[in-house]
A and B are shown apart, each in its own frame.
Chain A
Amino acid sequence: MRYAILLMGAPYSHQASHSALRFAHAVLARGHHLEAVFFYHDGVYNAARLAAPPQDEPHLVDAWMAIASEHRVALQVCIAAALRRGLLDEREAARHGKDGVSVEPPFELTGLGQLIDLGTRCDRLITFGP
């Protein structure tokens, strides 16, 4: 089956990100295809390049990046939700005159249209939120 995940919980604040990550691993372990993870609402903080959790806690940002590189899962971040919360890739940082970059590939800033498209194209779109 073709799966997609919608994640709306901030990392470490809520269980949502941890559950979504476990679900993603389970989907892939069962041989299904995970098309993309779409980050919306506070879920966009999962794309924060500068996240530095304590070493004895799971590193969620790195875990998403590992899934993306090992299984070619797209990591799509709602651009409107991200910009509001200070999550900018190189292009947006330049456009808004900011010094730092807080989002880097494989995370990509994209529109909500991508979420709707995933919902239509995939067999299942599973939501995780607080």
Chain B
Amino acid sequence: MQESPDDSDLLVILRHGPHGSSWLREGLDAALVAAAFGRCVSLLFMGEGVTALMPEQQVGPLGQKGTAATLEMLEMYDIETLLVDEQGLSDLGLSRDDLMLEVECVSSEVLASFLSEHRLVLTF
């Protein structure tokens, strides 16, 4: 578990999958910019958002940029706290082993505490 967050910490919640809308990409952009500005950023993948972590999310037929390359860059930006909504994962019949990155699975109760611990939360 991470240390308790301070005022500069930011929690970015991602609730959309990699295709069908630009929510995921624009949410990740915000997270990367915040990290580049020296904020300590945690990502929380919720609901359908957990599919962002499925491997090899590349350019689709619509020519939208794939998000896998961005997720691979997270470590370079020091975005190391990756939380996944346990329920969202099991609802889709997925497990942690199916995902492309090391994540921490959290229950709904723990999710609530993460939300209240962060002064700044951005939801996409």
Query: Are A and B subunits of one complex?
Result: yes
Please tell me if A41 contacts chain B, counting CB pairs below 8 Å. yes
Interface residues of A in 88-119 (CB under 8 A from B): 111-113, 115-117, 119
Are B8 and A115 interface neighbours, CB within 8 A? no
CB distance from B96 to the nearest CB of A (A): 29
With contact pairs A112-B33, A113-B37, A116-B34 given, residues A125 and B120 touching in the complex (Cβ less than 8 Å): yes
Contact with A along B7-22 (1 / 0, CB 8 A): 1101000000000001
Q: Which of B8, B26, B29, B30 is within 8 Å of A120, CB to CB?
A: B8
Q: Nearest residue in B to A127 (C-beta to C-beta)?
A: B123
Interface residues of B in 1-59 (CB under 8 A from A): 7-8, 10, 22-23, 26, 29-30, 33-34, 36-37, 39
* Contact-size category for B: 10 to 19
With contact pairs A41-B22, A41-B23 given, residues A115 and B120 touching in the complex (Cβ less than 8 Å): no
Give the docked Cα–Cα distance between A57 and B34 (Å).
Answer: 37
Please tell me if B122 contacts chain A, counting CB pairs below 8 Å. yes
Given the complex, which residues of A lie within 8 Å of B26, measured CB to CB? Answer: 40-41, 81
Given the complex, which residues of A lie within 8 Å of B8, measured CB to CB? Answer: 120
Q: Which of A116, A120, A129 is within 8 Å of B33, CB to CB?
A: A116
CB distance from A112 to the nearest CB of B (A): 4
Give the docked Cα–Cα distance between A6 and B30 (Å).
Answer: 12
Given the complex, which residues of A lie within 8 Å of B34, measured CB to CB? Answer: 112, 116
Are A119 and B10 interface neighbours, CB within 8 A? yes
Please tell me if A80 contacts chain B, counting CB pairs below 8 Å. yes
B interface list, Cβ under 8 A from A: 7-8, 10, 22-23, 26, 29-30, 33-34, 36-37, 39, 120, 122-124
Q: Jot down 14 A-B pairs with beta carbons below 8 A, ordered by A.
A: A8-B124, A40-B26, A41-B124, A112-B34, A113-B37, A116-B10, A116-B30, A116-B33, A116-B34, A119-B10, A120-B8, A120-B39, A120-B120, A129-B123
20 new A-B contacts, CB < 8 A, other than A115-B33, A116-B30, A116-B37, are: A6-B122, A40-B26, A41-B23, A41-B124, A81-B26, A111-B33, A112-B29, A113-B33, A113-B36, A113-B37, A115-B30, A116-B10, A116-B34, A117-B37, A119-B122, A120-B7, A120-B39, A125-B120, A127-B122, A129-B123
